[in-house]
A and B are shown apart, each in its own frame.
Chain A
Amino acid sequence: MDKDTAISVEHVSKKYCKSLKRSMVYGLMDIGRNMLGMSSRSERLRKGEFWALNDISFEVKKGETLGIIGPNGSGKTTLLKLLNGIFWPDKGKITIKGKVGALIELGAGFHPMLTGRENIYINAAILGMTKKEVDKKFDEIVEFADIGDFIDTPVKFYSSGMHLRLAFAVVIHSEPDIFLIDEILAVGDAPFQMKCFGKIRGLIKDKKTVIIATHDMSIIQRYTNKVCILYDGKMQGIELPKDAINQYLALISNLPHKDIEQEAIKIERNKRIISYPKISDDTLMKLMPLDKCPKKSNYNRNEFRYGNGSASIIDFEILNESREEIFCIKSKEIFFVRCRVIFKEDVKRPIFGISFKNKEGLELYGTNSLLKKMEIKEQAKGDDIWIEYKLKANLQAGEYFISVGVAAFEEERIIPLDRRYDLAIVSVLPTDESFGLVNLEGEIRITN
């Protein structure tokens, strides 16, 4: 291990048992074996067991901040628990240099009946502080928690915010060299979050090693040096934050994709068994234009689609100014949304439209070729075209849904041919210079 390495994880795996009864039996067997001085032979999977983490390796240097991202159930918390020594790995080796402090769940050691004061001492002791340290830092802790007179009130009468503040205050003052943070900062109100992040920034500045497991891409973007992507217990790689975010978004929107593919393979196999005349993929494509959207990594499987089917949107892509496909857009950046439409009937006056919604479903922007007073020529059956929308991301950080549609204008009426609401998800990365819903690109000038 290098001198400046804080954590080294080598081929670590951890298994869990699905069945409670089996887990009891295995537990007894393990205790028995260990007590007799025999190896637990933990590298084998017994019936009902599965690898919750599989062959994870990485290294974190002192002063670095590592992010851990992955969908729910991918093993983030298990990994943190292994790093904290709460669980032992079943395979591999973890080496840790320095005192570890963990924020796996805030206030886990609090007793609701006891007062804030009593709980501070007890919790601090559990977190490994000595009496001298607590005595010295007690006032500081109370001040950070900002709970005022409530210090001598049982914790069960605290608001959840006070509870959280007190818990965070104790942990942050236990002064670990390595700090493990699990998602917890998603709770709490904004001023508290700001205070916490201020502290975390302080830790990073003090060259402490920080590991953050989160779903929040803006935390990853702002605080981490590198990111470990977990999926289904396996490590997808150690990446720079920028690349990791793209990969992660691709990963989560790909979740149903795998099933679709498997379904397709199954159908393909069945076909073979019944022995249809074998047709080439090309002709298959021509006969039945496949919808490529679900294979896109930023596809939203909860899209809402309707229309009379005279035309189909079968593909889309989001490009940046240099015409590269992207999943995240920087605020204020120019980007393009392109979609491919195939016509199954002749359509005299087609209309193409797009709209953007935020996570709450609020429509933020929409336009179409009719509003833009564009004259679009008649499309014939079998026509295969790409429509391109050029846009500017005057948005704040967050996730946005893109809807696209094709309609026909007949007898002063709009007839939907194919509308795909919330077809794709796109992330806008934060800028540090403004806040709110939209980015008005404000500039400040002073004159007299």
Chain B
Amino acid sequence: MDLNEIIITYEPDNILRKGCFNIFKEILTEINRNKWLTYQLFRRDFLSSYKQSFLGIIWAIIFPFVSIFIFIALNRSGILNIGDIGVPYSIYALIGIAFWQFFSNGLVACSHSLVNAGPMIIKINFSKKSLVIASIGKAIIPLIIHIILICILFIGYGKTPSIMSLLFPIFIIPLLLFTLGLGFFTSLLNGVIRDIGNIITILLMFLMFFTPVLYAKPKTGILAIVTRYNPLYYLVSSPRDLILKGVIDEWYGFLIVSLISIILFIICLFGFHITETRVTERI
């Protein structure tokens, strides 16, 4: 019984008095202790979203399929001028879409994670970080399905990806951290102001067209300048380069953006930890 003798103190602002190092330790222990909870919350989302439907999990495959057909059709008809890419367009586009959707699905899921669990978090005290992290799961499942489809396409076109592409999981970690970091922040904001959820959906639509996901990096014009300073470009196109060519063209940019992602993630996680309980009462 004495093992459970944890003493907890609730006091306004006592978290601010703890100092960075202690807060960091607290966050790490919390995430570590709640691994199983995070998995259960992910399972809850996953199981419930495909129940009461005949096709069930197959829906997760249908959506990417539809998107490939659209791209192939657009490309064949010559509507899309995508520049020189050196590989079949559908492969290029699908890889881009896979990573982009990982970001956009992830961000949307995170933003709504606290609000959707609102009735639960005002009645039970549990780790809200787990909720946000678990909601990233909603983006990981489609990513896995996309990757399987990409493999099928490679086989279909008789091409082989670079051997380096096996390393791609490591190279999407910056994208994951970037998404989670932003997600921690937007979930808080959306908890207080519901407008944030809608704004994010609209912003993501714009961002997708301003980011070379479906087309090659433009060489001239305003878009070229925008792309140069668009962190998402590096996060999406670098793992894609790795799969298609085996090397990252703009590794310098990727490195900087990765660093930015890590810093963003840590700052947002800190912010989330400090304010999560304050936000609970506004949900």
Contacts and interface: CB of A to CB of B under 8 A. Distances in A.
B51 interface: yes
A255 interface: no
B125 A34 contact: no
B160 interface: no
Contact of A94 (B10, B41, B281): B10
B280 interface: yes
Interface residues of B, number: 44
Contacts of B122: 81, 86
Contacts of B62: none
Interface in A37-88: 37-40, 42-43, 81-82, 84-88
B192 A24 contact: yes
A24 B282 contact: yes
Contact of A113 (B10, B48, B191, B281): B48
Nearest to A92: B11
A86 B123 contact: yes
A120 to B, nearest CB: 10
Given A31-B278, A86-B125, A97-B7, A40 B119 contact: no
Contacts of B124: 84, 86, 102, 104, 108-109, 126-127
Nearest to A78: B281
Nearest to A8: B9
A38 B36 CA distance: 34
A165 interface: no
B84 interface: no
A128 B279 CA distance: 21
B40 A121 contact: yes
A88 B278 contact: yes
A9 to B, nearest CB: 10
B274 interface: yes
A18 interface: no
A114 B279 contact: no
Contacts of A91: 12
Interface string B114-141: 0000011111111000000000000000
Contact of B125 (A40, A100, A122): A100
A88 B10 contact: yes
A118 B47 contact: yes
A89 B48 contact: no
Contacts of B16: 34, 37-39
A266 to B, nearest CB: 37
Given A24-B192, A177-B4, A43 B125 contact: no
Contacts of A94: 9-11
Contacts of B48: 111, 113-114
A85 B126 CA distance: 9
Interface string B1-30: 100111111111100100000000000000
B8 A108 contact: no
B12 A42 contact: yes
Contacts of A99: 4, 6
A27 B41 contact: no
B125 A130 contact: no
B215 to A, nearest CB: 37
Nearest to B267: A35
A125 B51 contact: no
B108 to A, nearest CB: 20
Given A24-B193, A88-B12, A126 B37 contact: yes
B126 A126 contact: yes
Interface in A91-141: 91-100, 102, 104-105, 108-109, 111, 113-114, 118, 121-122, 125-128, 130-131
Interface in A342-380: none
Interface in B171-213: 188-189, 191-193
A16 B278 CA distance: 12
A27 B47 contact: no
Nearest to A97: B7
A30 interface: yes
Interface of B: 1, 4-13, 16, 36-37, 40-41, 43-44, 47-48, 51-52, 119-126, 188-189, 191-193, 271, 274-275, 277-282
Among all A-B residue pairs, the 6 with the closest Cβ atoms = A27-B192, A125-B40, A108-B123, A27-B282, A94-B10, A125-B37
15 contacts: A16-B281, A27-B191, A30-B278, A31-B278, A34-B278, A35-B271, A39-B12, A39-B13, A40-B13, A86-B280, A89-B11, A98-B4, A114-B48, A114-B51, A154-B51
Interface of A: 1, 16, 23-24, 26-28, 30-31, 34-35, 37-40, 42-43, 81-82, 84-100, 102, 104-105, 108-109, 111, 113-114, 118, 121-122, 125-128, 130-131, 154, 177
